[in-house]
Chains A and B, each alone.
Chain A
Amino acid sequence: MYKQLFSYPFLSKQPSKETYYNLNELIDYITSDEYIAITEEHTDKNIYKELIQCYKANLLFLKEHGLPHSKQEQFNTFNLNKLYSLDILSSNEAKTSSIFDKLSYLATSDENLVTCIDGDVFTTESINKKSSAGLQILDYMKVGKQRHTEYTKLIEKTGNFSNLTFGSSIYPNVFIFPNGSKSKYANKPVKITYENSKDDPILESNTNIVDVQYGTHVKLVEKVKTTAGQMNYVTYIVREGSTLEIDRDTTDAGGWSVFDSRFICHPNSIIKINCSNTGSQYTQENFYFKCSSGVKLELNGRNNVRKGNEYYSFVRVRSADNDNTSNIDVKNIGNEHSKTSWIGRFEVSPTSTGFDGTMDNDNLMLSSTAKMNTRPILDIYTKEIQCTHGCTISNVDKNQLYYLQSKGFDKATATSMLVESFLC
Chain B
Amino acid sequence: MLKLKNYKVSEVLENINIDFEKGKKYIVMGSNGVGKSTLIHSIMGRPDLEVSGKLTLDGADLLDMPVDQRAKAGLFVAFQTPTAIPGLSNFQMMKQALDLKGSELGVKLAEYKDNAKALKLPDGWDKRNVNYDASGGEKKKSELIHLKMLDNKVAMLDEPDSGLDVDGIKSLITTLNNWHNEENTLIVVTHYEKLIEGINPDAVLVLKKDDVIVGDKTLADTIFSKGFDSV
Q: Is A377 an interface residue (CB 8 A)?
A: no
Interface contacts (Cβ under 8 Å), in number, total 66
The reply to whether B88 and A408 form a contact with Cβ atoms under 8 Å apart is no
Q: Which of A368-413 contact B (CB under 8 A)?
A: 397-400, 402-411, 413
Shortest A134–chain B CB gap in Å is 40
The reply to whether A424 and B68 form a contact with Cβ atoms under 8 Å apart is no
Q: Could you say which of A400, A407, A420 has the most chain B C-beta atoms within 10 Å of its C-beta? A: A407
Chain A neighbourhood of B77, CB < 8 A: 406
Interface segment among B27-35, B79-87, B178-186: the answer is B79-87
Shortest B40–chain A CB gap in Å is 10
* Contact-residue bracket for chain B: 20 to 34
Residues of A in contact (CB 8 Å), total: 23
Q: In the complex the two chains form, what is the Cα distance from A421 to B83 in whole Å? A: 14
The reply to whether A422 and B83 form a contact with Cβ atoms under 8 Å apart is no
The contact of B68 among A408, A417, A420, A421, by CB within 8 Å, is A408
The reply to whether A402 and B71 form a contact with Cβ atoms under 8 Å apart is no
- B79 — nearest CB in chain A belongs to which residue? A403
Q: Could you say which of B66, B68, B72, B77 has the most chain A C-beta atoms within 10 Å of its C-beta? A: B68
User: B121-164 interface mask toward A, CB cutoff 8 Å, 1 = contact, 0 = none?
Assistant: 00000000100000000000000001000100000000000000
Q: Could you say which of B44, B48, B67, B93 has the most chain A C-beta atoms within 10 Å of its C-beta? A: B67
Q: In the complex the two chains form, what is the Cα distance from A407 to B150 in whole Å? A: 8
The contact of B88 among A398, A413, A417, by CB within 8 Å, is A417
The reply to whether A408 and B71 form a contact with Cβ atoms under 8 Å apart is yes
Chain B neighbourhood of A186, CB < 8 A: none
Q: Could you say which of A405, A409, A417 has the most chain B C-beta atoms within 10 Å of its C-beta? A: A405
A424 with B66, Cβ < 8 A, contacts A406-B44, A408-B150 known: no
The reply to whether A409 and B87 form a contact with Cβ atoms under 8 Å apart is no
A424 with B87, Cβ < 8 A, contacts A405-B71, A406-B67 known: yes
Q: In the complex the two chains form, what is the Cα distance from A403 to B76 in whole Å? A: 11
Interface residues of A (CB under 8 A from B): 397-400, 402-411, 413-414, 417-418, 420-424
Interface residues of B (CB under 8 A from A): 44-48, 66-68, 71-72, 76-77, 79, 82-88, 93, 96-97, 129, 146, 150
Sample (16) of A-B pairs whose CB atoms are under 8 Å apart:
A398-B48, A402-B67, A403-B79, A404-B85, A405-B45, A406-B44, A406-B68, A406-B77, A407-B71, A409-B68, A417-B88, A417-B96, A418-B88, A421-B87, A424-B86, A424-B88
Closest 10 CB pairs of A and B: A421-B87, A424-B87, A405-B67, A403-B83, A408-B71, A421-B88, A410-B68, A405-B68, A399-B83, A407-B97
